[in-house]
Structures are given as structure tokens and as C-alpha cells.
A and B are shown apart, each in its own frame.
Chain A
Amino acid sequence: MTVETASSMSRLKGVFSSKKEIGIFFAFLAIFVFFSLMSPYFFNLENLINVLRQISLLGIIAMGMCLVIVCGEIDLSVGSIYGASAILTAVMMMNGLPIWLAFVLGLAAGTLFGLINGVLITYTKIPALIVTLGMMNVVRGVSLIISSGRVVNISPRTVDDPTLPMFLFLGQGKVAGIPVMCLFFIATAIGAYFLYSKTLLGFRMKAVGGSARAARASGINSNIVKTAAFAIVGFLSALAGLLNIAFLGSVQGTTGQGMELNAIAAVIIGGTSLAGGQGTMIGTVIGVLIMGVLNNGIILLGISPFWQMTIVGAVIILAVALDIWTRKSGRS
């Protein structure tokens, strides 16, 4: 038995690159087991797939957010970009643009918002908190202006393009029982992991976030590296926004409000430090899963959904407290 645990532990270590990730994984397991025991509806395939679908969009954004946080920066505008790119795309579709073109332009718009964030932050030295706070409002305003505050629907009645069902499939369809949305999340997670752990760009994000001066002295152009991170999170926010409208068939000016804080929360629960210089993509995925399972479990247990925010908030503080506490006890 003990031998078995030891070998499975070492196998776990092969999957995770740090003790921290193992700790977060076990925290997730504990929550998972708790809800499985407490509710007969929790541990069944349909519900679990449902949870996975619910967190997919948040997860896609959180992967990008983690990269920005690794750079030692923050992005508050992702929720607005998520909403605005969907509205822009929907309006373009309704005005007769081919769907594929509207789709590409929607992604480009999100990337452009991210690029503007990055350029402003790095070249004008205005703090990211301020630039992206401003951008959050500017982009939100764009959504409200374009939609005039009304709900924008895409359906065969409003969009005259035979490929509309293909677009809606991205949000509503399933492949082998798994929602397409989840496949996008999985692909994003793998892509982000690869970028962060295996490429020069990811490595440089870590370097820039760890010590800006040392990075500069090592010949690293931190402006380019940070701008790339903001562009990536802008792109991913737009992608999530487009999947959302494909899922719901509609979008409104306020769509995505609060998304930025949930994304940051998932990254932090996952064990990434806001100070920059270190982050974990696997941890972020688990952080997203924890948030999804908590939200789902709370509802299944019949607890008032009003408690959700309170509980998630407490989990954020607890996660960071545990991390600080274990690091301290590890040192002495």
C-alpha cells in the first residue's frame, strides 16, 4: 500500500512541475470528493460535463491572464473585451459580412485592444492597473454604444449566411459527447502550457516579471514581451466572447462584467503570485476547475446562490493564506 502510494506520488510529480501544484490538486480533489459525498447529483457524467462547459470560457481567459500576471502586470479589461468582440462580430454578421470574416475580425479586435493595452503600459509607463481600468470602461462603452443597450440576437432571421449553423456549433455542439467549447479550453490550456514552459517568449515573460532590470541587462526587450502577453490575453478574451455568443445566440452590452476578477481569482487560487516572475499553467487550470466545482456544488446542495460569491471570496483568501503559511513552515 505504502509502496503504491509512493510510486503514485512520484508519478504525480512527473505530471506536476512543483509541490505547489500538487497541493492545489489535492485541494481540488478534497472539494470534489466533498461534493460527491454530499450530493447525489454531483458525481455524474452529465453534471461534470456541464461544469466543464460552464468554466471553459473563464478558463480560456484565465490562461491568458496568468501570462500577464507572470509578467508582473494585470489586465482588468478582459471582461469588456469578451463582451465587445462578441457584439462587434454579431453586428458585422447582421450587416451581411461573411461569418468567417466577422469571426476573424472579432478576434482581431480583441487582439488589438490587448495590443493597445500593452503599448500604453510599456511605452508610456502608465501602470497596468490604470491603463486596463480605463480600457475596461472604454471598451465597455463601445459595447453599449454599438448595442444601444439592447440585446443583440443572431439567428437565421437576423443573419443571412448559410454557415451560421457551423458558427453556432462552436458554442452549442458536441464532439464525442464533449462540448466543443471545452475542446477550445483544453487546446488553450495546452497551448498556454507549451508557450510558458517550452518557448523563449514564455521564458522571457517569467524573466521580465522576476526582475525587470536584470532582464534589460540581459538584452531582453521587456516592452515587446509584455505587449505580447497583453495581446494574447486580448485574443483569448475575444475567442471566449465569440464562443459565448455562439452558445447563447445573443449578447448584450453588459456581457462579461466581472469576468476579469473571476479570471484573476482563478489564477491566484491556482497558485500564481501577483508579484510576477512565477506562475503555473496547470495550477491555473485547477484554479478554474475549483471555481467551477464550487459554484456547481453550492447550487446542487441547495445553498442559496447568493452565498456563491461569499464562498469563492473566502476560498481566494484561504488559498493565498495556505500558500504563505506552507512556504513559511517550509523555510524554518
Chain B
Amino acid sequence: MSNIIDFRNITKIFGAVTALDDVSFSIQEGSIHAIVGENGAGKSTLMHILGGEYAPDGGEVVYRGTPVRLDSPHAAHALGVAVVYQEFRLCPNLTVTENLFLGRERELGNGKVDWPLMQTRATEILAGLGSSIPPTALVDSLSIADQQIVEIARALALDAEVIIMDEPTSALTLKEADDLFANLRALRARGVTILYISHRLEEIFPLCDRISVLRDGKFVGGFEIGDIDQAGVVRLIAGGDLADLHASEVRDYTDRQKVLEVNGLSRPGCFSNVSFAVHEGEIVGVYGLQGSGRTEVLETIFGLAPEWTGSITAFGQPMHNRSPSEAIRNGLAMIPENRRDAGIFPDMDIMENVNTANASDMSGFAGVLRRRFMADTTEEFIRKLRIKTSSRFKKISQLSGGNQQKVIIARWLASQPRIVLVDELTRGIDVSAKFEIYKILKSLRESGLSILMVSSELAEILAESDRILVMKNGAMVADLRGEKRTKEQVIRYALSGQ
């Protein structure tokens, strides 16, 4: 097979940062080609160049042997390149068909707007993807997985020969991800080339044909998938030896004092009769498919749910939090799932982001802020958590995802909690920052904190938690410890519930 795309000496500079440095490699036609690297390695920049969003400062993109100018998304579409971004670019207020032909309403009808014809074509394309989404449905009413299918369908409606997928499984359940993989394989069989950008090595290996690794804007290696293993790729991505980072000792702390006890907790429409306990100094993982009620349990404990029944006991005392501020007073902290919407204050600097949950410490008489205290606290955490920044006055939105999350962790440590609830702590964070965050979790355990950790990443749950709770369809189906704490068991309970 021939190369459909050759990147030749691509360089892209943003101010003082070289996002891509002389990157050259080729994509074979009809293959699924993985591009991996840490956040900031240059994957997104490369994708934006191919999608016509950025112009390279040096080098050229060669398409089917001819150098091309991709100066707008439209130019990329005309060539047959479509990008499915992590944040979908769909109009939620329009129907599926309207979205598929947005901006090209006249194309099918030879200059006239022929909605029935577009409807038929939309149905065909969706059927080709094995989907039964009605083309008249509003995008807003679709699940995330279905919206993604609409994005892919739009690429096909453009007759795209190359589809770039950016972190496509980050919001999908296991089942939905499997359906996606089946679709991608079917597309490959039809000759479509797919560029697959992802952090999740475990899904790349069974799916992709080739893999290219970027690090700090440079191309550091390209392999047939059979010629390399996961450990090799991780080494290339990180540029160092990460062997020791996987080492994790599992402890049995179940004989210690129970700091949090949940009994018969139910919330209508979310989960019912959930019971478990967390012991002092324990990291308890909660695994389950999306929609199994994991996040809702955390929210309920933290006072974010309006109505629930059952009992919650903390440190031997009954606890009924009606708001997060009550939960904070009761020694709880919660790092929410969606960092960008519910975690960071994007316009604020690091210091202000750290000092938000520790109201009683950061302000003194008549609510006057204690700037010195705020500064000292921030500096201490920048040092302790190794937050990479030039100063505490930098806006949090200018930091990488991993460093943003460290700031959020600092915020919650500053509130001096005794139990920390975390939800998808490392989502969208690059490999080495992930390991740093795991180290932080371990050190918190040493200092006697208890951690209840929800995660969709099986590897993370297995490596980092002492005990694993599994949820399915709003019920707690397993409490796995000791020898039963294995990958197979966790998956079995998460899928079948027994």
C-alpha cells in the first residue's frame, strides 16, 4: 500500500514554545495509525495542522504525493481529511441530518436545498455505521457515543478518506468503545485511513496497525504494532525509565478504624441500597461502567445531591451534608470528575485557585483575606506537589492538564480534609504526570488520609487501590480484596454483576 500522507519536516512555533520540531513520518493508506505522546508532545498541534486550523511554520504536508496547502478546515475537507475532535463540533439545537450537511446544504440537490435527499443519504451513512439513530433526532437528545457516531457520519458525508480521531474513547463506556472499534475496523476495510490519537495504550495495541510516538514536539519513533510492546511505548513517551512507577504495594487496612461508613444509601434514579466502609489510611477504588452510579455516590456523600435515604457515618458520627460547605466542615474533600467545568477557575491565578476551599484559614477578621497565608500555602504546595510553573501568579488555564490537576489537589489538601473523594483524577492527563499524581495519593495515605477513588481506568484502579468496590446499574456488587482483587474479577463484576 502507498502512503496517503507524508509529514515532511513539519515545524510549528508558538511564541517561545516549539510545539513541533522537524517532524517527518508517513501514514499508509487504509491503515489505523496511532499517534501517542504526553500532553504537550505535539499531537494536537499536528492534528490541527492536518485539519487546516494551523499553518505550519516550516515543512510541508504531502497528500498522495503532492504537497498541499491546508489553510482552512474547508481546504482539509475538500481534500478528504476530517477531524473528530474530543469536544464535538456539532450544533446541539439542530437535527442529525442538518448537522451532517451543515454548510453544504446545496451540495446534494445540485444547487437546491433538498432535505428529503439529505435525509436519505444520512440514513444510509448511519446504517453503514451500524447505527439506528433517527436522522431527524436533535443532536442534543443523543448520548455522547451517538454524538460521536454523528461526527464520524459527518466525516463520511464529506467523503473523507482520512479521519482523525482525537481521544475518542475518553467519554465512552467499555461497550460503546467496543462498538466504536468495530466501526473503525469496518471503515479501514472500506479503505478509509484513520489517525488515532489516544492516551490509552491498552486500546491502541489491539486496534492499530502502526504507532508513531511524539515527545516534546519531536518524532521519536514509528513502529509496526507487532514490533513493540506497551512497556516500550511508555519508555519512548516518557523518555525515561518508568519501571519503578508501577510498583505499588497493596495494604490491608480493614482492621483499622472505619472513618466513613455508608449503609443502605439510595438516591432515586441513580443507585439503591449501597453500603460500604472506608478505613483510616486506605485507598478504596470504585470501579464500574459509566452510568453505574459511581459519581452519584460521591456526590451524595459530599452534599451535592438533593434527596437520598440511608445513613452515612463519618468518624463514628452520623453525617448528613446538605451542601459541599457542610461536607468540607465535616472533613471531606472532593475532586470532581470534570476538571474544566467543575474544578478550575480559569481566570484566576494559581494562588487563588489553591485558596478556595479553606475559607476559615485564608480570611481573618471581617473576612479580610490573609494574602501572606495564601501565598505561603501556595508556595508550599507548588514545592511539595512539584507543580511546574514560573510563579504562583500564573493563570491556571495556562498550565498543562496534569499541573492543573495538581493545583486542584493542592486546593483540597489546603482544606485539611481527613477523607478525600476523587473522581477520574487522571482523565486526560499525560503518563508521567499521572504517575506523579499516584505518588501524591500514596503519600497522602501515609499521612493517615483515607481516599475513595472513582476511576474508569482499570489499570489505575488495580495499581493504586488497596481494595476495589465494583458498581453496576446503581448497585454495589462486589468488595474485592486480597486474592480476589484481580483484573478478571473486576471486569466480571462490572459487566455481569456477579
A207-B356, A219-B325 in contact; A199/B363 too (CB < 8 A)? yes
Chain B residues with CB under 8 Å of A199's CB are 363, 366-369
List the B side residues contacting A214 at CB < 8 Å.
336, 341-345, 356
A219 touching B369, Cβ below 8 Å: no
Q: Please classify how large the interface on chain A is, using the bins under 10, 10 to 19, 20 to 34, 35 or more.
A: 20 to 34
Contact B342 A213 (CB under 8 A): yes
> Is there contact, CB below 8 Å, between B345 and A198?
no
B366's nearest neighbour on chain A, judged by CB, is A199
Check A198/B368 contact, CB under 8 A, given A278-B347, A332-B15.
Answer: yes
Asked whether, in the complex, the Cβ of B325 is within 8 Å of the Cβ of A221, the reply is yes
Cβ A200 vs Cβ B324 within 8 A: no
Q: Do B324 and A216 have beta carbons less than 8 Å apart?
A: yes
Query: Out of B323, B342, B366, B371, which one reaches A211, CB within 8 Å?
Result: B342
Question: Is B347's CB under 8 angstroms from A219's CB?
Answer: no
Contact B345 A217 (CB under 8 A): no
In the complex, whether A201 has a CB less than 8 A from a CB of chain B is yes
The tally of CB-CB contacts under 8 A between chains A and B is 78
A4 to B327, CA, bound (A): 54
Interface residue B78 (Cβ < 8 Å from any Cβ of A): no
Report yes or no: A210 in contact with B323, Cβ–Cβ below 8 A.
no
Q: Is there an interface contact between B363 and A210, defined as CB atoms closer than 8 Å? A: no
B412: nearest residue on chain A (CB-CB)? A218
- A206: chain B residues at CB < 8 Å are 345, 347-348, 352
For the complex, give the distance between the alpha carbons of A207 and B341 in Å: 13
- Tell me the complex Cα distance, A31–B469, Å: 67
The yes or no answer to A97 lying at the interface (CB within 8 A) is no
Minimum CB–CB distance from B412 to chain A (whole Å) comes to 9
Question: Could you say which of A200, A211, A215, A217 has the most chain B C-beta atoms within 10 Å of its C-beta?
Answer: A217
Q: Mark A211-233, 1 if CB is under 8 A from B, else 0.
A: 10111111111000000000000
User: Which B residues are in CB contact (< 8 Å) with A221?
Assistant: 323, 325
Distance of A117 Cα from B356 Cα, bound (Å): 26
Contact A200 B342, CB 8 Å, known A210-B347, A216-B324 = no
Q: Which residues of B contact A207 (CB under 8 A)?
A: 345, 348, 352, 356
Chain A residue, CB-CB nearest to B367: A200
Q: How far is the CB of A141 from chain B (nearest CB, A)?
A: 37
Q: Which of B323, B362, B367 is close to A219, meaning CB atoms less than 8 Å apart?
A: B323
Chain B residues with Cβ under 8 A from A219's Cβ? 323-325, 327-328, 357, 359
**B411, A218: Cβ atoms under 8 Å?**
yes
Tell me the bound Cα distance from A215 to B366 in angstroms. 21
CB distance from A241 to the nearest CB of B (A): 27
A203 touches B369 (CB 8 A): yes
Residue A277 interfacial (CB < 8 Å): yes
B334 sits at the interface (CB 8 A) = yes
B346 at the interface (CB under 8 A from A): yes
Question: Per-residue 0/1 for B317-353: is the Cβ within 8 Å of any A Cβ (1 yes, 0 no)?
Answer: 0000001110110000010101001111111100010
Task: Please determine whether A200 and B345 come into contact, CB atoms closer than 8 angstroms.
Answer: no
The docked-state distance in angstroms from the alpha carbon of A211 to that of B356 is 12
Q: A203, B341: Cβ atoms under 8 Å?
A: no
A217 touches B334 (CB 8 A): yes
Q: Which residue of B lies closest to A278 (CB)?
A: B347
Contact in complex: B347, A201 (CB < 8 Å): no
List residues of chain B with CB within 8 A of the CB of A278.
347
Name the A residues within 8 Å of B344 (CB-CB): 211, 214
Residues of A at the B interface (CB closer than 8 Å) are 198-201, 203, 206-207, 210-211, 213-221, 277-278, 332
Question: Can you list 12 pairs linking A and B with CB atoms under 8 Å apart?
Answer: A198-B368, A199-B363, A200-B363, A200-B368, A201-B367, A203-B352, A207-B352, A210-B345, A215-B345, A216-B324, A219-B324, A332-B15
- Beyond A201-B367, A217-B343, list 17 extra A-B contacts (CB 8 Å): A198-B371, A199-B363, A199-B366, A199-B367, A200-B362, A200-B367, A200-B369, A206-B347, A206-B352, A211-B344, A211-B345, A211-B346, A213-B341, A214-B336, A214-B356, A217-B334, A277-B346
